[in-house]
Amino acid sequence: LGDMLSGRSFDLQDAMSAIEIMDPQMDTGMQKEPAADEPQVPPVPPGADAPTQLVIGLLDEIMCAEHGHYSGLTLPQTIYRVEWMHNARDVGHLPLRSALIATSRAMIATRTLVLRGDIHEEEDYSGSMSGLSLYDDVSDQNLTAMLHEAEELCIAS
């Protein structure tokens, strides 16, 4: 159990070809159909009064997810596991909102550099965005202003 079958007529290439195409378990870009009894309401984003422990925990999770993406995992497996990344603009806590958007922008900058430089292999870096928004419509000036405002808010607290 758990061992790869091999033989003269069945090798790794044959095993990879045997994977069912469009199988939701194998295609991380596919959206899984929710069960009928599964709630459809996403969690409420943290407000301006979010506890510091929650914000620190979320920032830690975001940093770990970002590192996972740079290590070769796809966006849906990494930062877009965090529910609020899908609607970062709705997060009421300014430092968290600015961190979410800044992380997305850092990832799109890295993606651009890697793809333009053609310095990646498919198994090393996943450049696919899977149709997800990385907030590239937020200008550098607006993001910098948002980060400075978040920093001032943190200093004042």
Span 27-77, pLDDT tens digits: 555 555 666 676 667 677 778 888 889 889 989 999 998 888 888 788 888
Task: Categorize the per-residue pLDDT at 1 as very low, low, confident or very high, splitting at 50, 70 and 90.
Answer: very low
Residue 58: inside a domain, yes or no?
yes
Q: Is residue 35 part of a domain?
A: no
Identity of the amino acid at 125: Y
Task: Compute the average pLDDT of residues 74-92.
Answer: 82
- In-domain check, residue 19: no
For the entire predicted model, the pTM comes to: 0.68
Residue 67 lies in a domain: yes
Cβ-Cβ contacts under 8 Å for 61 (sequence gap 6 or more): 82
Q: Domain for residue 94, yes or no?
A: yes
Please give the backbone phi and psi of residue 10, each rounded to the nearest 5 degrees, phi first: -140, 110
Look at residue 106 and tell me if it is in a domain: yes
Q: Does residue 99 lie in a domain region?
A: yes
Q: Count Cβ neighbours within 10 Å for each residue of 131-142 and write b for 16 or more, e otherwise.
A: eeebbeebeeee
For residue 144, give its domain range: 50-156
Number of structural domains (the chain) is 1
- Rounded mean pLDDT of the chain? 77
135 domain residue, yes or no: yes
CB-based contact 5:54 (threshold 8 Å): no
Q: Band of the pLDDT at 6, cuts 50, 70, 90? A: low
| Position 21 pLDDT exceeds 60 | no
pLDDT of residue 11: 64
- Can you give the pLDDT at residue 47? 82
